[in-house]
């Protein structure tokens, strides 16, 4: 099913396209061939600025989880043979503290539709019955609608595609590694038990999931992802000073 044919989605798609085209036109006298890429970066910054309150909520949630870590470890020891009781006691502890263990997921959940909409804008050759002019825009000679995996599958990759998208993916991975190293979160359970070690390894792996996603989405969406992970790292470093946790 093509969701772009649905009235609500097609309207959002047309509005996103019109907004990006208007911003690209506005930036062209200053940025020249980089105007479309700069427009995407600008939209990303606007979105992330609007999400600052959720970032603050995430920082507070991390601080709360760190503060509750000893009590969570105690619950794990007392109820390790009864997972259902452990889950109930854990959720009750968060409720008593007026916190949520899922607060940190909010920024990602809010951004998912935005990335999906941006993906769709550079996926359709026609939008609102007219040709998609954004597909003619490029970054260092690589169309903003180009996807690395699709180009490899079609055998149409060239050096510029490998360099531009490859550098984008490496930069996202680098930011992920910096995030992992600079923003370590203390384990919520006993470090001598397998569960925290597995969880820690999983969280470390998830830092690089965005880099993998960048290989499958259009270059335009990859630009959004690079800007947003860089913003996230800088914002969390600032907020970590405001809401410090014991690592």
Q: pLDDT tens, 10-31?
A: 888 888 888 999 999 999 999 9
The residues that bridge with 138 in the sheet, in sequence order, are 143
Three-state secondary structure call for residue 143:
strand
CA angle, corner 138, sides to 136 and 144, nearest 5? 85
Site of tokens 């026609």: 126
- Backbone dihedral angles phi then psi of residue 143, each to the nearest 5 degrees: -55, 140
Do 149 and 215 contact (CB within 8 A), yes or no?
yes
Please give the model's pTM, rounded to 2 decimal places. 0.77
188-237 pLDDT per residue, tens: 444 444 444 444 444 456 667 889 989 998 898 899 899 999 998 999 89
DSSP characters for 206-241? HTTHHHHHTTTS-HHHHHHHHHHHHHHHHHHHHHHH
Q: What is the mean pLDDT of each run of 10 residues along the chain (247 residues)?
A: 64 88 94 93 89 83 79 84 84 77 65 77 82 88 91 91 95 91 62 42 63 90 91 91 77
Q: How would you class 114 by CB atoms within 10 Å of its CB: exposed for 0-12, middle for 13-18, buried for 19 or more?
A: middle
Do 101 and 62 contact (CB within 8 A), yes or no?
no
């Amino acid at each position: 099913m093509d969701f772009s044919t649905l009235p609500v989605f097609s309207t959002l798609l047309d509005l996103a396209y019109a907004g990006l085209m208007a911003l690209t036109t506005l930036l062209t006298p200053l940025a020249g061939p980089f105007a479309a890429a700069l427009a995407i970066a600008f939209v990303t910054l606007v979105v992330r600025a609007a999400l600052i309150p959720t970032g603050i909520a995430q920082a507070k949630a991390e601080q709360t989880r760190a503060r509750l870590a000893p009590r969570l470890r105690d619950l794990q020891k007392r109820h390790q043979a009864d997972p259902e009781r452990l889950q109930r006691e854990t959720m009750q502890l968060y409720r008593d503290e007026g916190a949520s263990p899922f607060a940190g997921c909010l920024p990602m959940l809010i951004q998912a539709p935005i990335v999906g909409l941006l993906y769709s804008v550079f996926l359709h050759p026609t939008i609102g019955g007219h040709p998609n002019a954004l597909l003619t825009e490029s970054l260092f000679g690589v169309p903003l609608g180009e996807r690395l995996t699709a180009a490899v599958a079609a055998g149409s990759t060239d050096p510029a595609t490998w360099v531009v998208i490859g550098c984008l993916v490496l930069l996202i991975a680098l930011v992920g590694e910096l995030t992992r190293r600079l923003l370590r979160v203390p384990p919520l359970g006993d470090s001598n038990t397998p569960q925290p070690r597995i969880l820690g390894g999983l969280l470390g792996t998830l830092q690089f999931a965005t880099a993998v996603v960048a290989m499958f989405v259009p270059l335009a969406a990859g630009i959004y992802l690079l800007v947003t992970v860089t913003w996230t790292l800088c914002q969390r470093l600032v907020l970590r000073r405001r809401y410090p946790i014991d690592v």
